[in-house]
Every structure is written in structure tokens, then in C-alpha cells.
Structure 1
Amino acid sequence: MNVSYRDEGVASAAASVAGRLVADGVPARLAGGDPTLWGEDAEAEAAVRLGWLTLPRTSRELLPELGKLVERARAEGLTNVVLAGMGGSSLAAEVICATADVPLTVLDTTDPGQVRRALADPLDTTIVVVASKSGSTVETDCHLRIYERLFAEAGIAPGGRIVVVTDPGSPLEQRAVEGGFEIVLAVPNVGGRYSALSAYGLVPSALAGADVERLLDDAEEVLPLLALDTGNYGLDLGAALGGAALGGRDKLVLEDQLSAANGLPDWIEQLVAESTGKQGRGILPVVGADPNETGDELVVAIESDLGDVRVDGPLGAQFLIWEYATAVAGLLLEIDPFDQPNVAESKENTAALLTLPDLPTGAPAFADGPVEVYGSPTATDLPGVFAELLHAIPAGGYLSIMAYLDRMAAFDAAVPDGADFEQMTDAWMMADPATLRALLALRTNRPVTFGWGPRFLHSTGQYHKGGPQNGVFLQITGDVADDVAVPGRPYTLGRLQLAQALGDLGALETRGRPAVRLHLTDRAAGVALLLAAAQEV
């Protein structure tokens, strides 16, 4: 493991704040789980959220149980592993399995099309991990209900195919007992986004075939360093993040083109954004983007020399070091890195909307073919709408694209006969809503982020509402051609998805932020039109 500074300004700022931290005894106090570090207001929360510091050791207690679970699954031919979980209950496992190159289907969506893809896989080889720390996550509850009904209708006992990972005493634990599901209880003194090395990260990863013991080994190797004043990589990284942010470099551009850890920036994004984005301050992670070389950027490169800071190390160690660094950055920014005070707002808005007979979508300002435009733009065409949004980004601000769509749909794009991999990739990119981020980023020197809804609500959604109020928001929704009923609930996935979009949009609008919703009446044609319009700006 190694953290090195490649920019003199970053090195100077980091050295300054690190000196203060060492003088206050922070490294040893944090490694020892001192909950008083973040102030009196944060002490109660921190006291029950520092268990991640010992997970490289305590999670070893899970290994025998995981071994038996994996052995049973293999004996029964259960090779299709589905993980139903949101945010911290899915992001780490997704990175672990992608890095280990083992298959895992992640359901962190309410999009009917994406859920139907998972449901189409053979049930006779499927095992489902349902993970929720609170035990009341609405998306995960829907997935559980759908799979329970599906197994039952196929004549398969759900109790043998569903594994529940949750905290002790949660509603989901009781539901699992009643359903006869296998239960793995996680340690309760770990927050969701700090739970990579807990049961939430390890259970689905082990079932999928990843070497989770090696993950813990790599994390445990750096654990003793976290109490040190020097040679402490978590302190080095945290001082760089926090010191840079205090100096105005609060946009964290994550570079991982050469990294062996596949998808790690997506996990870092949630960890940093949800931990620091509150009280009008925070660090905004920017994933999948090239640096703009503006004064508010800090480029952190994973296993390459392309950034201001370079971070090297195996995945298990990366998880622990980034968690420690984020806790340090929160201390420097004088915020509580363990709460998420604004996440509930969009959830409450969604719940209220679902009680209405019809969702209040309003009337579009105008329509351009398969794209309806909602909001108050003065433009009358899509290129004009994009130009307005880009112009509205304030100094120090950013544009966020939030797509409540099927993130796998681009792979349905027609590919020319005999196409090579590069040609296939081009075809997929031109059918992918995420390509809009890159196209609009070319037309501004401000950060442009992209998130799949409702997944980002459990990640950057906290930053959008609790962090610096300088965001501009572009939301994309779409008609549902083939909806999915939710057993025992008075709504479908499609209705829930739209209510989540409208609920979050309402939360942003109450803050006076510029926001436009684009609704695709034909998803494929609508995406194509958006990408064409972006190239005209």
C-alpha cells in the first residue's frame, strides 16, 4: 500500500493539516475508536459507527459460516448470484466481484426493465442475497417480494434460495425468520457506506466466488499503520483530501484507468459524497471524467501517475484506507462523517407521492419528438435546454445528470454484422444515457457527474441536498413498456421509480436549484435524440 503526493500544493496543504492532526493525537485516537473526535454533536452517532476500524479482524468470524453457505450453494448448483441491495449494501460487493472477475447480478434499481433482465435468468440455478442494514429499504423490500413470489410460483421453496444480510433486530430479520430464509447478521456498529469488509460486502462476494479471506488479509496488513503519526496511509490520504478541500480544491476527480480494482471509484463516490456533503460543505467526487485543470479540482489516481495524489494497494487495503481518510477529511471539514441527514427527505417525498391516486407529473414545457421537457426553460429545443443548464452552473458549481432508466439497456443496441469489439463498444455508447455526461462535459470546464436513479439517492443524493448549494440538475425519466407488479404493495416498480424521481426533484426544487426533467416517451429513440442534441450545443 502506498499514498504519494505528486503536486507541491497538495503536499504543502496536507503537511500543514497533518501536523495539526498529529499534535492533537488524532491518528491513535481514531485508530482506537475515539467517538469524541468530531465534536459533541457527532459523538453519539460516532460511538455506534466506528466498528469498521476492526472489521479486518472481526469479520474473520464470518469465514466458517460463509464457507458452509458457499459449499451448500455449490452442491445445489446455485451459480447465479443475485444481490438485492442499495448503496453500501451493494456497491462494495459489486467492486469486489468485478475485480475478482466473478459474476454477480446487482439489483440496485426500481427500473422494471432492468429487474426483468435479472428475473429472466434461470431460477433453478439462482440464489438471492437480500441486504439491508435498516431492514426497511423500499427497493430491497420490493426485490424480496418479487423473488419470493417467483420462486413459489416455480415450485421452489424460497427459504432455500434467499439469504438475508441485515443488522440484528431489524424488520428484515423478523421477515427472514418468518420466511424461513438463511440469515447472516452484520455487526450493527458500522454504517452502510463503511461496511465493505462486513457481511454486506463479504456474503454476496463469497457466494459469487471471490476470495474474501484474501480481502481481509490485505486490509489487516495495513491496520496497524492507522495508529501511527508517520507511515500512516489513511492519514496521508485524509490530509490530502481535507487539506485540499479547505483550500478550495473540493472537486475530487477519481482516475482509475490503469487500476486492477474494477469500479472502485463508484464505491469511493458514495463514501466521500455521503460522508462529507452536509452543512453546506463537502467534497464532490467526479467519476469517469477527465480533469478540467481548474483551481477547485484534486485529481487522485489509483495505481497511475496521472493525478495530484497517487494511491496504490490491493482492494481490501484500499477499502480501509479510504474509510479512514474520509473520517479524517470529515474531521478537517468539521462535519459528522457518519450521518446522512438529508437522505430521508427524498424517501419521505416518495412515500407521500405514492399515497396519491395519480403522480403529479405536471404538463411539459414542450416536447421534441420522444422527449418531453418539464421545468421552466426559456429554450424551445433540446440543444437550447442543454446550453441553458450549462450556462446556469455557477462558479465553483457542477452539473449532475440523474437517469432513472435501465442501465443495461444500451447492450440491446443493434450491432453491425461482423463488428469487432471497438465497433460494438461504439454502438453501445451511442445508446447509453451515460454518454450524455461526456458530451456535455466537453462543453464546460465545470464538473459533470452522472448517477443512475434511484441508486444515487443512496450515494451522492446526500451531497446534492446537504452539500454546497451550487449544483444544476438534469433528470431523465422514461415511459415503462412492461411494468413489474410488487406483491403485497399497491404500486408497481414503474410507479415507484417515477415517484422516487419526482420526490427527489421536489427536494432539489425547494432549495431553488436549477432543475429540468426530460421524460422519454420512447426510451431508445429518446436517448438517441438526447445524444444528438448534446452534440449540437
Structure 2
Amino acid sequence: MSDLLSGGAEAAAGLAVHGARAIDEQSPASTRRALVSDGVPGLLARKDPTLWGPEAEPAAGAHLGWLDTFHRSRELLPQLAELTAELADLDHVVLCGMGGSSLAPAAMAATLGRPLTVLDTTDPGQIRAALGDRLDTTVVVVASKSGNTIETDAQRRAYQQAFLDLGRSPEEAGRHFVIVTDPGSPLVDAGLEMGAFVIVADPSVGGRFGALTAFGLVPAALAGVDVAELLDQAEEFAASLGRDEDNPALALGAALGAAATAGYTSVALVPDGSGLDGLGDWAEQLLAESLGKDGMGLLPVVVESPEAPGVTGPGVLTVAYGGSLGAGAVPGGGAGAQLAVNGPLGAQFLAWEFATAIAARVLGVDPFSQPDVASTKTHTTAFLAQLQEEEPTCVDGAIQVFGAPSLTDALRTVLDAGDYLAVMAYLDRGADHAITRLRSILAEKSGKPVTFGWAPRLLHAAGQFHKGGPQVGAFLQITGEVTDDLPVHGRPYTFGRLQAAQAAGDRAALDRPVLRLHLTDRSAGINQLVTAAQAL
């Protein structure tokens, strides 16, 4: 065990946080002590909306339901049992949702070993592959708080047409859909018109805090997850939230806040090998969207394993997460973690949500807003109406380079351009998965934090940090040729055009250096790009 464990773990209801006190002690004054002195743990547990200042108070007052949503979510359990029985013949569950509507159920299914296909893309190849997979036994969960998420709307239209093309009547096609949305959203009426099952979610919970609402529980339950157990874990853990001591969520939040004010610039989220697959992707969005604004925040970096580059480094707070191991005991023989969060998944969700709200208090930001997410949406709409092709600066094999004289110069330039690098892949997560190797390669070459994100999912996750956090990043955007496009039924554009407009919109919304590489042959281009990165 690391020396950072000298103060012992802080634990409740099976969840323990190791190393937090050592991080807190690095601040000029104890962040934890100041929070306790101000009564913050108890006030937050009682849903006090004033904790983040007067400007944040209206949003906070409307979005603190996550603190006890596990109580209200129990009302869903009989409905979920009935729905699961009704749809027992549809055993292939597809979730169409972005960001907070998909990351938590994806983590639930992955951790508990249940099959769930998550469709959070506009890539035509990935959409087409999903439509061709066991369509006759597929149930599609369409999840959107607002009801007008452009990606989710396009996916719903594609599946609805696919069922009709399969020979289903409109009524029979409707049976293949479950709609999860907020009360009053356009999806309620659309779902009823389709003949879909409509489940209205808890409106007092914001998207990224909605793990234990219908957005997380409905797709997970249909996939076979025992969601009642997750609610039990959260409820047992909730009893610790108002305490000044024996409060692991407070310990984690104080440590994150202290780190952000003591020179740390990023947080590496490292799986410790003991389970909880996918929790890092969910925590990335929670931290990025909640803390990355007003020039503040900690850059979350999801690292593949304890052995991967980027686990440690200057300004990096290393946090291991999982089900059993403590700080400094992550496998791999490296420097180990400075913090470790270990415990059951239901408690993890609530602990990270509470900790994030605490850290936002320390940083002085509103954890419930996402002011910069809309900028890419606005640009996307404009580019959908009129998208002009750019001329590449050069063509290097299967890669078009925009803004540099060669591929090697492009990679060197983007590695030198910022304090961190974000790799953004507008590609097929299945067929183009080999591109993920870039993160670890570029992290090793640069010694800087390097993130990897599948787009457009990242626009609903780390995108807020990139635009609203400290403006010190550089961005590598990778797009790919579309050889077999797919229409969005009822809309004057295709999935390929939507994907291209989103990529162009994000480039326009970012104020920092953006290098674009376009793969004219995806497979060959990925191999070429990985080889070029390794040769740097």
C-alpha cells in the first residue's frame, strides 16, 4: 500500500475512498475542513440550492433530485417487471441515447455482464450494422431528456423504417420501441403516436446525474440487470452523505476540489481490474460537463489500464476505481494511484455525483449547467443547411491532411500545440476500433494528457470541458470516407451528412488549434496513422 494510505480509508455501506486526506493536505488550507465548517455536507444532503451561488440557484433548485431519486425509482420496478415480461420475445436490447442517457446503463450492463447494444453515433456504417443485427428480436430504447436530440431522433427514424421494411405494420413496429423521456417532451407524443411503450423519467434530475433514474434503469433492466440491487446499494450509501466524518463521497469531492486548486490539471480515471467496466466513461462526462466551465475544471482522462501511458505525470491526479483494491495496489507494478474509489456500482454512482457537486462548490462553478454544449449544436444546424467541402493541404497515402504540409508534420504540430491533446474520432466504433490505439501512443510520445473520444458522443461528454474549461488543449479530429450512406427518413439529410456537419460544427466551436485528418480508406488510413504516430 502507498504511503498515501497513512490516514486510512474512509468508508460507508461497502464503498471506500483511499488517499483523500493526503491530497487535501497538499492545499494551503484544508478544503475538507472548510467544507465542514460551512456545513456543506449536510446542506447538500438536504438539497440546499444556494451552495453554488445566486446565479446557479434556479438550476440547482430544479436538479437536485438525484440525491434521493433511488426512492422514486422504486416506483418503476413493477412497471419494469411487467415490461420485461411483455417483451420477453425481444431479447436484443438496443439503446439509442447520447451522453447521460446512455453512459450509465452501458456501465451497468458491462459491469454485470449483460448484453446491451449502445448506439450513440451518427456513423452510417455503425448504424447500418446495428440495423442488420437480429432486427426481428430487437427492442429499441430511445432515450432523450429533451426529446429533440438530433442523433437520437435520426436513430429512431432509422429503426422505425427498418421495422416497416421488415414487413411489420406500424402498430407491430411500435411494439419494438420503449421511449424514455421527460414529461412534456416531444418524444412523449411521438412515442404514443408510434404505439411505443412510453416511460416518463424523473424531471428533477439532470441528464448526467440520472444514472439511477429511468434513463439508466429501463435499458439496464431490459438487458437483464438486477436494478433493484443497484437502488439498494445507493440507498444504503445515502445515509452517509450528510455526515462530517465517515463520508467517502465528501472525501472524494474535497480531494478533487483540493487537487484542482493545488496545481493538478487532469484526473486519470484508471480501472483497477476488479470490475465496474465502463464506470470511467460515465465519470468522464460527469466531471467534464459539471466542472469544465468558466475556465475551470479538471480534464478527465479515461485510461485503458494501470499499465497504459498517461496514468501518472505532471499535474495528473491518478484515481483508481473498481470493486476491491485500494490506492497504490492497482495491478501493473506502476506508481499506483493517489486516490482509489472501491465499492458496489449503485453506491459508486451516488458517491461520484455527490463528490462532483462538492468539487463544483470548491471551484465556484455551477455543476448543473453546460453552457458551451449548445455551441456545436448551433454550428451543426448551420452546416447541415450548407456544408462546403474543404480542400486538403496535402494527401499522404490514404489520409487527407488539413492545415499541415505532411502527416508527420501534422502530428508533431498538434502534439506541441497545447497542454493536453484530445483525439476526436468521427468513425465507426466497431469497424474502426483500431484507431483507439492512438491515445496511448500519443500519450507516450508527448508525455502529456491525451484523451480519446468517439464522436458525436464526446460532444455530449468531454465537449463541455474542451470549450468551457481551461483553454490549453489541442485537438486532433479524425473523419472517414462514407462509402455506403444511409438516409435519415423524414429528414432532408443522410447520416453521413449529419456526421460531417457535426464534425464541421465542432471545429467551428473550438477556439483552440484543431488538426483534421480525413481517411479516404478507413482501414488503410488507420494503419497508416498508427504507424506514423509510432514513428514520431
1:93–1:202 CA contact under 8 A, matched in 2: yes
Q: Hey, what's the Cα distance between the residues in 1 that align with 2:513 and 2:108? A: 37
Structure 2: unaligned runs, 5 residues or longer:
1-14, 330-335
In the alignment, what sits opposite 1:370?
398
Cα deviation for residue 12 of structure 1 reads 4.6
1:151 matches 2:163: yes
State the match for 2:423 in structure 1: 401
Q: Secondary structure of the equivalent of 2:148?
A: coil
CA contact (8 A) 1:484 1:492 kept: yes
Give 1:134's aligned residue.
Answer: 146
Paired AA for residue 532 in structure 1: T
- Can you give the 5+ residue segments of structure 1 that lack an aligned partner in the other structure? 411-430
Specify the code of the residue in structure 1 equivalent to 2:70.
P
Match of 2:125 among 91, 113, 132: 113
Inter-partner Cα distance in structure 2 for 1:439 and 1:294: 15
One of 88, 93, 105 as aligned partner of 2:100: 88
Question: Is structure 2 residue 340 aligned with structure 1 residue 340?
Answer: no
Cα deviation for residue 361 of structure 1 reads 2.8
2:244 pairs, out of 229, 237, 251, with: 229
Runs of 4+ in 1 over 6 A off after TM superposition: none
Structure 1 residues 292 and 97, CA gap change in structure 2 (3 angstroms): closer
More deviation, 320-329/6-15: 6-15
Amino acid at match of 1:483: D
Measured after TM superposition, the shift of residue 295 of structure 1 is 3.4
| Structure 2 equivalent of residue 300 of structure 1 | 319
Q: Does 1:25 find its partner at 2:39? A: yes
Question: Contact (CA 8 Å) 1:11, 1:240: kept in 2 or not?
Answer: no
Q: Which moved more, 1:459-468 or 1:153-162?
A: 153-162
Instruction: Give, in whole Å, the separation in 1 of the partners of 2:415 and 2:158.
Output: 40
1:497 and 1:453 map into 2 onto residues whose CA distance is: 9
2 CA distance for matches of 1:14 and 1:326?
21
CA positional deviation for 1:135: 0.4
* Structure 1 partner of 2:509: 507
Structure 1 position 163, deviation (Å): 0.4
- Are the structure 2 counterparts of residues 138 and 318 from structure 1 closer, same or farther at C-alpha, using a change threshold of 3 Å? same
Output the CA distance in 1 between the equivalents of 2:28 and 2:78. Answer: 42
What does residue 353 of structure 2 align with? 323
Of residues 481, 490, 508, the one that matches 2:483 is 481
CA distance in structure 1 between the aligned counterparts of 2:266 and 2:106, rounded to whole angstroms: 24
Superposed CA deviations along residues 438-497 of structure 1, whole A, max 9, x for unmatched, are 111111111010000100000000000000000000000011011111110000000000
From 422, 431, 434, give the equivalent of 1:432.
Answer: 434
Q: Distance in 2 between matches of 1:222 and 1:293?
A: 30
Letter matched to residue 284 of structure 1: L
What CA distance in whole angstroms lies between the structure 2 residues aligned with 1:528 and 1:14?
48
Q: Deviations along 1:87-125, whole A, 9 cap, x unmatched?
A: 000000100000111110110000011111111112221
Map 1:68-87 onto structure 2 (within 5 A): 68-74=82-88, 77-87=89-99
Question: Aligned-pair distance for 1:223?
Answer: 0.4
Partner of 1:43: 57
SS at match of 1:302: strand
Distance 1:267 1:292 in 2: 18
Secondary structure of 2:458's counterpart equals: helix
- CA shift, 1:6, in A, is 6.8
Shift of 1:11: 4.4
Q: CA deviation at 1:10?
A: 4.3
Give yes or no for contact 1:160–1:182 (8 Å, CA) kept in 2.
yes
The aligned residue for residue 413 of structure 2 is 388
Alpha-carbon distance in 1 for matches of 2:311, 2:219 = 37
CA distance in 1, matches of 2:176, 2:535: 50
Percent identity over paired residues: 53
Classify the secondary structure of the residue corresponding to 2:350: helix
Distance 1:133 1:25 in 2: 32
Q: Structure 2: how far apart are the matches of 1:232 and 1:240?
A: 12
Counterpart position of 1:285:
300
* Mapped partners of 2:226, 2:28: distance in 1: 35
Match of 2:4 in 1: none
> In the alignment, which residue of structure 1 is the partner of 2:527?
528
Q: TM-score, normalised by structure 2?
A: 0.92
**1:272 is matched by which residue type in structure 2?**
L
Q: 1:181, 1:259 → 2: CA distance?
A: 38
In structure 1, the partner of 2:279 is 264
- Could you tell me whether the CA contact under 8 Å between 2:360 and 2:366 is conserved in 1? yes
2: CA distance, partners of 1:22 / 1:6: 15
Match of 2:288 among 273, 281, 284: 273
User: Which stretch of the first structure deviates more once superposed, 153-162 or 62-71?
Assistant: 153-162
Number of matched pairs = 504
Shift of 1:279: 0.5
Q: Name the structure 2 match of 1:67.
A: 81
Q: Which moved more, 1:120-129 or 1:264-273?
A: 120-129
User: What TM-score, normalized to structure 1?
Assistant: 0.92
Structure 1 residue 386: deviation in Å?
Answer: 0.9
Q: State the distance in 1 between where 2:285 and 2:107 align.
A: 13
Q: Which moved more, 1:252-261 or 1:11-20?
A: 11-20
Distance in 1 between residues matched to 2:503 and 2:272, nearest whole Å: 31
Q: Distance between the aligned counterparts of 2:21 and 2:32, measured in 1?
A: 16
Matched-pair contact (CA < 8 Å) for 1:89–1:200 = yes
Q: What is the rounded CA distance, in whole Å, between the counterparts of 1:6 and 1:44 in structure 2?
A: 31
Q: Which residue of 2 aligns with 1:517?
A: 516
Shift of 1:22: 0.8
Question: How many Å apart are 1:155 and its aligned residue?
Answer: 2.5
On the 8 A contact 2:268/2:311 being kept in 1, the answer is no
Deviates more, 1:449-458 or 1:288-297: 288-297
2 CA distance for matches of 1:8 and 1:325?
Answer: 17
CA contact (8 A) 1:15 1:239 kept: no
The amino acid of 1:339's aligned partner reads S
The answer (yes or no) to whether the contact 1:292–1:445 under 8 Å persists in 2 is no
